[in-house]
């Protein structure tokens, strides 16, 4: 039987919770969405969370709230999914790509070299679930020399007085950096709850607010909630109160609110996330590492350090001293043996849209090296121990077959 790459965990408890949401009469934004927001905030150790229908929408809402527009620059890693860059384009701003480190995460040194007077936001990305070096990133934007370069245009930018750090933590819900959960590590964090994520709501995302006391975060929560619902002053839950039908529209907003049907899935997953989901995913990671560490040909992913603990989202196995073409051939051999694998990710400068903008992969050597040798292995809750061993054997045998080694 084929082994898939990353099916969602759907069991009777999930189905029962979704059924309860359907029977409740609230299938759009309602009490379950609000409860999900509160529980995420509590889990991350922050006060305010806005749930939306995708991490992409969450990133763009934050950029627009901060006033990012034409003429502005946003620093992003060259090694990420296209959503990180696309939202910058949507706002009319310019994505400034910088290379990453061997651990796949953005290089602090390269960030520093890329900062200009036009820089408004830096978007670090926690690739595969490993947190970036947030102390160093936060220190960089607080450095007097960096602050001198900052030229604020909007009230929000003036109030912050420096570059905003917007963490793309689509992969890293539940990860830990120096004793703190992602979501609480910098100014604003956005999570993804897409179908392949550790914690899924089928589609969905969350904006986690962790701004300084200079900001009224309750007010920002309301502002972002309004932006996510056409700029309308009241959601369906508020309007259903007797006599409370009248509403206003404050801006031409967007339609990207989370629904109670989606939130109901998230509530189940969050309840069993720390002591069940993460435990199982760590077991799979450790099993892979134990097996592949016996062979010098494999470069194992970094997912735990003294300061960091991954969310164990993607197992990014690299094979030493091979070409991109050899990697592709190895993947084809794995597919022929009915094991699904993937690559995370094709670097942005290799995608037609960004290539046509003038980005060249030759300027991002670490990104290309990581990509060209990387194979993402199946990691999901229902992957059995027997399946883990099949994946391991299939990968080892495929590498030996293509590279002609014993």
Same domain, 260 and 281: no
Same domain, 303 and 253: no
The per-residue b/e assignment along 324-358, b for 16 or more CB within 10 angstroms, e otherwise, is eebbebbbebbeebebbbbbbbebbbbbeebeeee
Torsional sign, CA 362, 364, 370, 376: negative
Domain region containing 383: 273-403
For the chain, what's the residue count? 406
The per-residue b/e assignment along 147-184, b for 16 or more CB within 10 angstroms, e otherwise, is eeebeeeeebbeebebbbbbbbbbbbbbbbbeeebbbb
Nearest to 24 by CA among 244, 328, 236: 236
Is 391 a domain residue?
yes
What dihedral do alpha carbons 238, 240, 244, 246 form, nearest 10°? 90
What count of other Cβ atoms lies within 10 Å of the Cβ of residue 299? 17
Boundary (domain end) residue, out of 217, 249, 270 = 270
Same domain, 326 and 250: no
* Segment holding 372, helix H or strand E: helix 365-372
Q: What are phi and psi of 100, to 5 degrees?
A: -110, 180
Give the up-direction half-sphere exposure of residue 204: CA atoms within 13 A in the CB hemisphere: 28
Q: 180: domain CATH number?
A: 3.40.640.10
Q: 346: domain CATH number?
A: 3.90.1150.10
Same domain, 255 and 286: no
Which pLDDT value is given to residue 239?
Answer: 66
CB 184 within 8 Å of CB 46: yes
Same domain, 255 and 350: no
Is 5 a domain residue?
no
Is 311 a domain residue?
yes
Question: How open is the CA angle 16-20-25, to the nearest 5 degrees?
Answer: 155
Which pLDDT value is given to residue 403?
Answer: 97
Q: How far apart are CA 4 and CA 338, in angstroms?
A: 8
Same domain, 266 and 280: no
Same domain, 193 and 288: no
Is 49 a domain residue?
yes
Boundary (domain end) residue, out of 235, 270, 305 = 270
Same domain, 283 and 265: no
Is 152 a domain residue?
yes
Q: Is the pTM of this model over 0.95?
A: yes
Question: In the chain, how many domains are there?
Answer: 2
Is 6 a domain residue?
no
Q: How far is CA 320 from the centre of its chain?
A: 27
Question: Which residues lie across from 75 on neighbouring strands?
Answer: 96, 122
C-alpha dist (Å) from residue 102 to 1, 83, 327: 35, 22, 18
Output the tens digit of pLDDT for each of the chain's 406 residues: 699 999 999 999 999 999 999 999 889 999 999 999 999 999 999 999 999 999 999 999 999 999 999 999 999 999 999 999 999 999 999 999 999 999 999 999 999 999 999 999 999 999 999 999 999 999 999 999 999 999 999 999 999 999 999 999 999 999 999 999 999 999 999 999 999 999 999 999 999 999 999 999 999 999 999 999 998 987 777 766 777 778 888 899 999 999 999 999 999 999 999 999 999 999 999 999 999 999 999 999 999 999 999 999 999 999 999 999 999 999 999 999 999 999 999 999 999 999 999 999 999 999 999 999 999 999 999 999 999 999 999 999 999 999 999 8
Measure the N-to-C terminal CA separation of the chain; round to a whole number of Å.
Answer: 27
Would you call the peptide bond into 345 cis, given omega within 30 degrees of 0 as the criterion? Answer: yes
Same domain, 259 and 292: no
Same domain, 278 and 216: no
Residue 174 DSSP one-character state: T
The set of residues, in sequence order, having a beta carbon less than 8 Å from that of 178 and lying 6+ positions away, is 135, 307, 308
Which pLDDT value is given to residue 245?
Answer: 79
Boundary (domain end) residue, out of 240, 270, 300 = 270
Is 7 a domain residue?
no
C-alpha dist (Å) from residue 301 to 123, 167, 218, 375: 22, 21, 39, 11
Q: What are phi and psi of 296, to 5 degrees?
A: -70, -20
Is 1 a domain residue?
no
Same domain, 378 and 395: yes
Same domain, 266 and 310: no
**Two tokens, residue 375:** 């194979």
């Amino acid at each position: 039987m084929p082994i898939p790459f990353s099916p969602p965990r759907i069991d009777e408890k999930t189905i029962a919770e979704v059924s309860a949401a359907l029977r409740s009469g609230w299938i759009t934004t309602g009490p379950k969405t609000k409860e999900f927001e509160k529980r995420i905030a509590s889990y991350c150790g922050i006060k305010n969370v806005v749930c939306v229908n995708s991490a992409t929408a969450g990133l763009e809402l934050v950029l627009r709230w901060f006033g990012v527009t034409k003429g502005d620059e946003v620093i992003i890693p060259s090694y990420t999914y296209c959503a990180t860059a696309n939202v910058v384009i949507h706002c009319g701003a310019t994505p400034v790509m910088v290379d990453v480190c061997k651990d796949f995460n953005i290089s602090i040194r390269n960030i520093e070299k890329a900062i200009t007077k036009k820089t408004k936001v830096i978007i670090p990305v926690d690739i595969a679930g490993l947190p970036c070096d947030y102390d160093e990133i936060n220190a960089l934007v607080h450095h007097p020399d960096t602050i001198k370069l900052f030229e604020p245009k909007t009230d929000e930018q003036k109030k912050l007085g420096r570059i905003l750090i917007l963490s793309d933590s689509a992969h890293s819900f539940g990860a830990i950096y120096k004793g703190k959960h992602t979501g609480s590590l910098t100014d604003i964090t956005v999570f993804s709850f897409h179908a392949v994520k550790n914690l899924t709501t089928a589609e969905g995302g969350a904006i986690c607010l962790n701004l300084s006391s200079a900001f009224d975060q309750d007010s920002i929560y309301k502002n972002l909630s309004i932006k996510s619902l056409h700029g309308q002053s009241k959601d369906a839950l508020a309007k259903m109160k007797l006599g409370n039908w009248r509403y206003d529209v404050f801006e031409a907003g967007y339609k990207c609110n989370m629904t109670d049907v989606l939130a109901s899935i998230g509530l189940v997953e969050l309840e069993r996330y720390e002591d069940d989901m993460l435990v199982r995913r760590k077991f799979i990671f450790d099993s892979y590492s134990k097996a592949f560490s016996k062979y010098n040909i494999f470069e194992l992913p970094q997912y735990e350090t003294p300061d960091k603990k991954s969310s164990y989202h993607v197992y990014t196995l690299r094979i030493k001293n091979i070409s991109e073409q050899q990697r592709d051939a190895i993947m084809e051999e794995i597919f022929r043996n009915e094991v699904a694998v993937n690559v995370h990710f094709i670097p942005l400068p290799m995608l037609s849209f960004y290539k046509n903008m003038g980005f060249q992969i030759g300027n991002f050597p670490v990104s290309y090296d990581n990509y060209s040798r990387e194979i993402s292995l199946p990691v999901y809750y229902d992957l059995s121990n027997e399946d883990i061993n099949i994946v391991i054997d299939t990968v080892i045998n495929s590498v030996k077959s293509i590279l002609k080694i014993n």
